[in-house]
Structure 1
């Protein structure tokens, strides 16, 4: 039969289509809208600029409502029945692998597209407990390392299998206590925030105790290959060093703290690391450290290769309020009066934003030195003025008076009467023997989650506005000498500041109560916690064994005594404080007028606020017709070029996506536990993901160990 060439050509196309159809179907099944190239989340808070920003647009304001759980990873270590755990980690993503830290404080690596575990450490060094906010990645193209702080030890891990790199330091680790000792100091030091890297320089800040026995807060830089110390920046200067005259003579021997626990930002092009610092210890009394106390409470620009100071600015003089800079700086570019300027900014617990020229340190907006009250505590010389930015506009209210008491507070009249007898009404009122109000509270305002900045130089900052009260009381050390000190006195000195004078903890569960603690733990278990710390509680290595046992006796209903209140030679001060006491009504709500938690957008080109919305809600109040009040919150946001801002952070265990232009909530979902962490945004195999650590464990919320990633279907 003669073949019809035209028919053959007509049949050939369908036959070829059938041959490639399986491949087309496979592509359709795995395809996502507008497939994007693989995009990493290279460092803690997104990159060296710490802006929490992703250029990805696959998930946007139009399709964000379609987000679904892509995978979940149970990292391990959470015990919701007995031991409260937390996860504050902002995971990094490098070449399709996500690196994070578990609820049990172990580093891990998982496939970023599936959540499948690749490796997890099993470190068990005899060191201090801690809550880690993440890890740092370094590679020279030949090998890759993960830097992970496990208590007081900084490890270099092989990125491929998680095993320690034996040639780094001693057996793969550095002991961070070495080099920051001083006479009379305790042993407590951890690195809770990931270090920064500039070329082959690893720059490390630490968390030390906040008592009079704190170690020095020096910032150190190490060689990423060998672990060799390269440079040290002393935050409490020695004789002949810049800033020494802002302290009393030889304070570097008898005062600690002024440490950089919150993380740093690095200008990789200029080779400058921007280092924020906290207050000197003890936080609430400075009669033993008269002066402005450089470099406590400073933003310091340092040559990343040499450690040389380039410039600095002190955000609080002679801090006696624990007003640490709470988060890493942000590096970005603004347009002011038609001129582009590279800037660095820091947010504050007080609700201020300080903005500086990145090279010169000159303030971009006016900052005025304004007078504040003197202290009435003998020996204390509070600074006469404090620096107050005129712009950008504050993102929190600055005072709490009887006019600011919540209208639906359950015991409003009692609150007002108490407030009338308290020291309140302005920022920077020195603590006295009577109740003194912090507003915003002692941990913000802004907290360690920090601010996000988009490509248009809009800054987004979560904050809280919960009144906190405290006061100063005599320390048993100052009057006891060699006399016996009771277990109750020792408890008031070492424990009451956090767990409350009545042992009931604080009202929102951020810090647990200790009533009945001896029925939940053995004496040995309590001694272990005192020795190693747990979560955000530091170790109390400065307390003698006899004192620890006296405290345990007091907690169990006895009141034994100890012959001395501290190890011989340890630093002491005349006062202690009565705790970080969040003020709630009898129904458990903050006594101030809402909002209690906020998300604010500020145009950093002008310093003007664009919008502010509540962050979080109490469903039972919303059901009564009360507009969302916002809640206490911990953690930051991630902002994307897709027009979105992702944030968990709130007490209500929700994960939300906001329209970054308006502050409107476009999507939200319930998490398995509260996400007191910052989300990460990345893309693998053409698909964009957003992931959040769901650790809970604060604010009376349950603990968890899951990382949950979301993507479009």
Structure 2
């Protein structure tokens, strides 16, 4: 199988595939000499999905403040419903602001658009040609944005198509850069190292690869992550490994590849026992990345191996799964790593980018990296050395009784900061608004195994008569894709949005789900448990925002994400009950500026945008939006005016961008 002629690459580049580990090209120094990546956006800019290389999701702007936040009005609404064969009601892209324009993607085609920041007018659009690879992508509507760089004095926009093509566009015109790859396009499958067809992609019996997050572009190097097949639907042992790829941002030449599943002779290969490295896959980096140009490092987070909830076919701790990895972005050489979860069977991948901030701990200045996770922890490292700022404890965790499964005996536990989300589940955690509701909740969970954090998945026909194990937080819990965190570089305070979501996957014999399955046990989804009468199973709060001082590791405050949901407040079984403010069953979407913490309530919340006092957590003002926020908002200054732009959608509003300003 081969790449089709319109997208082929020079055969000389294929020789890079034979070396082991991080494959370094020879042109990295030359790349940096011909590129002018800004080390941080100029004041008022927003060059990356996270605002800056550090992915702080912050901006040093103060035109919008507590005194005028309530005066915010909609400046324009840019609708994303004409960029694919069907209407997408969810827009997951955080736009960037550069060269006086906004740049985003929209629709299942992941169409790139340039937008006038003052009016919302579309200036240009571009989309990739149709391929079977696009048709088969499981992440067509998951595009999270674009990247920007300056090459030879002219701006470029970089995007990865759902079919796994890297594209470079002229920021002014939207036209592909002719001398980048083949007419502006690099076929990433060439350098991944698996057989493939240029139009149809990798054969399904070998595996699958796509992308959702934009690449990281730093010092002229374009680093590309990826997303694999949805792990809770996989039935085959064999899968594509999500190796990290890097390219020359000027020419598209392949520079290096980092093996997320190490090959023989590479560090970490011995953590894949019984030769499981040969057929195991996933472990990709589908979250956005962060970078420190002063250190020459790019920071990558990874997910677990095939599949999400059973690992009997992949014994061992499985590096570099569920890890934070610091790579030299010039060469791809690993500087340090830390594995947050060993032998993952909980879908505890890292969906959020690392965030970089300088803090002062016991009088010493520390260049820090903080990684927020589904588990409800903020892991804090020295980003130069990889040393934890506060120690982790390795504690024994429950073991599995599923045939063939062999879990790690211990997992690392964060000792500081304290968890920002409730961990584990016991009967004491169940809803107790009324005795009747509590009795119903107890009856529901009698069919499940309850337990602490790292409660292992179990069989649907377990010997004790239960149908599954509940683990909390679960696939949609903790800090996750839509909300995540912002960090204030001035104060070192982290503001993290979280959701009390649990999972209860049922393990089934593989051939019961797929006659051709090659795994002993599989699942058909992450599983969830409905509470009594449609109410949440657990006590509140449901969604929260927590402020954590990273200089001390102390929690400063925690507030609910908005008010109590209407379906709880107005429930017939709760009439006359004095309810607390529970927060929405949703991930808040947060943004921090010099003056305020701001957030939308997220899908499942109300179409509101709130201003919060950064020091106290007090809600200062709220304004209405056309629909609920879908992902993290951003802010910028354009022609002397500060704007806030958020992706919104749902309730009859297609996935759109809304811009707010004070008139």
Answer yes or no: same fold by TM over 0.5: yes
Match of 1:565 among 513, 516, 519: 516
Structure 1: distance between partners of 2:288 and 2:70 = 33
**How far 1:468 moved relative to its partner?**
2.2
Q: What is the aligned partner in structure 1 of residue 117 from structure 2? A: 112
What does 1:131-150 correspond to in 2, within 5 Å? Answer: 131-140=142-151, 142-150=153-161
1:204 aligns with 2:224: yes
Q: What is the aligned partner in structure 2 of residue 54 from structure 1? A: 59
Match of 1:283 among 308, 313, 327: 308
Distance 1:187 1:53, change over 3 A: same
Distance 1:185 1:656, change over 3 A: farther
Residues 176 and 190, structure 1, Cα contact 8 Å, conserved in 2: no
**How far 1:145 moved relative to its partner?**
0.9
Provide the secondary structure at the position in 1 that maps to 2:628.
coil
Match of 1:472 among 507, 511, 515: 507
Distance 1:186 1:672, change over 3 A: farther
- Per mean C-alpha deviation after superposition, the further-off stretch among 447-456 and 602-611 is 447-456
Structure 2: distance between partners of 1:77 and 1:593 = 42
**How far 1:171 moved relative to its partner?**
2.7
Report the aligned-residue RMSD: 2.2
Q: What is the aligned partner in structure 2 of residue 180 from structure 1? A: 192
Structure 1: distance between partners of 2:268 and 2:210 = 26
Q: What is the aligned partner in structure 1 of residue 546 from structure 2? A: 600
Q: What is the aligned partner in structure 1 of residue 167 from structure 2? A: 155
Provide the secondary structure at the position in 1 that maps to 2:443.
helix
Provide the secondary structure at the position in 1 that maps to 2:623.
strand
1:67 aligns with 2:72: yes
The alignment of Structure 1 onto Structure 2 pairs a total of residues equal to 583
Unmatched 5+ residue regions in structure 1? 1-36, 477-488, 494-563, 567-571
Match of 1:691 among 631, 638, 645: 645
Provide the secondary structure at the position in 2 that maps to 1:668.
strand
1:711 aligns with 2:661: yes
Structure 1: distance between partners of 2:270 and 2:43 = 52
Structure 1: distance between partners of 2:90 and 2:640 = 32
Deviations 1:175-202 (A, max 9, x none): 2333335588545322201110121100
Structure 1: distance between partners of 2:217 and 2:124 = 23
**How far 1:620 moved relative to its partner?**
4.9
**How far 1:239 moved relative to its partner?**
0.5
Q: What is the aligned partner in structure 1 of residue 463 from structure 2? A: none
Q: What is the aligned partner in structure 2 of residue 370 from structure 1? A: 395
Match of 1:673 among 627, 637, 643: 627
Match of 2:458 among 408, 432, 442: 432
What does 1:319-398 correspond to in 2, within 5 Å? Answer: 319-398=344-423
Match of 2:615 among 647, 651, 661: 661
Q: Given the two structures, how large is their TM-score scaled by the length of structure 1?
A: 0.78
Deviations 1:138-165 (A, max 9, x none): 1135221111122122211111121222
Provide the secondary structure at the position in 2 that maps to 1:281.
coil
1:627 aligns with 2:580: yes
Match of 2:562 among 600, 616, 623: 616
Q: What is the aligned partner in structure 2 of residue 28 from structure 1? A: none
Residues 88 and 635, structure 1, Cα contact 8 Å, conserved in 2: no
Residues 597 and 629, structure 1, Cα contact 8 Å, conserved in 2: yes
Residues 38 and 684, structure 1, Cα contact 8 Å, conserved in 2: no
Structure 2: distance between partners of 1:600 and 1:150 = 35
**How far 1:84 moved relative to its partner?**
5.0
Distance 1:84 1:75, change over 3 A: closer
**How far 1:471 moved relative to its partner?**
2.0
1:420 aligns with 2:425: no
Deviations 1:613-644 (A, max 9, x none): 11134135446653332223346311000133
Provide the secondary structure at the position in 1 that maps to 2:646.
strand
Match of 2:479 among 446, 463, 466: 446
Provide the secondary structure at the position in 2 that maps to 1:245.
helix
Q: What is the aligned partner in structure 1 of residue 212 from structure 2? A: 192
Structure 2: distance between partners of 1:179 and 1:281 = 21
Residues 88 and 107, structure 2, Cα contact 8 Å, conserved in 1: no
Residues 107 and 141, structure 2, Cα contact 8 Å, conserved in 1: no
Structure 1: distance between partners of 2:496 and 2:354 = 12
Deviations 1:481-517 (A, max 9, x none): xxxxxxxx5xx44xxxxxxxxxxxxxxxxxxxxxxxx
- Per mean C-alpha deviation after superposition, the further-off stretch among 194-203 and 660-669 is 660-669
Distance 1:167 1:140, change over 3 A: closer
Distance 1:187 1:695, change over 3 A: farther
Q: What is the aligned partner in structure 1 of residue 47 from structure 2? A: 42
Structure 2: distance between partners of 1:635 and 1:157 = 33
Residues 88 and 695, structure 1, Cα contact 8 Å, conserved in 2: no
Structure 1: distance between partners of 2:273 and 2:205 = 18
Deviations 1:70-89 (A, max 9, x none): 22212333899x76542111
What does 1:503-652 correspond to in 2, within 5 Å? Answer: 565=516, 572-617=518-563, 618-622=565-569, 626-634=579-587, 636-652=589-605
Residues 88 and 655, structure 2, Cα contact 8 Å, conserved in 1: no
Structure 2: distance between partners of 1:38 and 1:456 = 18
Structure 1: distance between partners of 2:652 and 2:320 = 38
Distance 1:641 1:316, change over 3 A: same
**Structure of greater Rg:** 1
Deviations 1:79-119 (A, max 9, x none): 99x76542111110013200111234211011112211111
What does 1:491-502 correspond to in 2, within 5 Å? Answer: 492-493=513-514
Residues 135 and 148, structure 1, Cα contact 8 Å, conserved in 2: yes
Deviations 1:266-323 (A, max 9, x none): 0011111111100011111111111110000110111110000111100001111110
Q: What is the aligned partner in structure 1 of residue 27 from structure 2? A: none
Provide the secondary structure at the position in 2 that maps to 1:71.
strand
Provide the secondary structure at the position in 1 that maps to 2:504.
strand
Deviations 1:445-490 (A, max 9, x none): 11023211112000001010023212211011xxxxxxxxxxxx5x
Provide the secondary structure at the position in 2 that maps to 1:256.
coil
Provide the secondary structure at the position in 2 that maps to 1:146.
strand
Structure 2: distance between partners of 1:590 and 1:181 = 46
1:166 aligns with 2:192: no
Provide the secondary structure at the position in 2 that maps to 1:387.
strand
**How far 1:253 moved relative to its partner?**
2.2
1:403 aligns with 2:460: no
Distance 1:84 1:139, change over 3 A: closer
- Per mean C-alpha deviation after superposition, the further-off stretch among 159-168 and 198-207 is 159-168
Q: What is the aligned partner in structure 2 of residue 18 from structure 1? A: none
Distance 1:585 1:593, change over 3 A: same
Structure 2: distance between partners of 1:331 and 1:250 = 36
Q: What is the aligned partner in structure 2 of residue 30 from structure 1? A: none
Residues 88 and 654, structure 2, Cα contact 8 Å, conserved in 1: no
Structure 2: distance between partners of 1:588 and 1:161 = 51
Structure 2: distance between partners of 1:198 and 1:131 = 23
Distance 1:193 1:462, change over 3 A: same
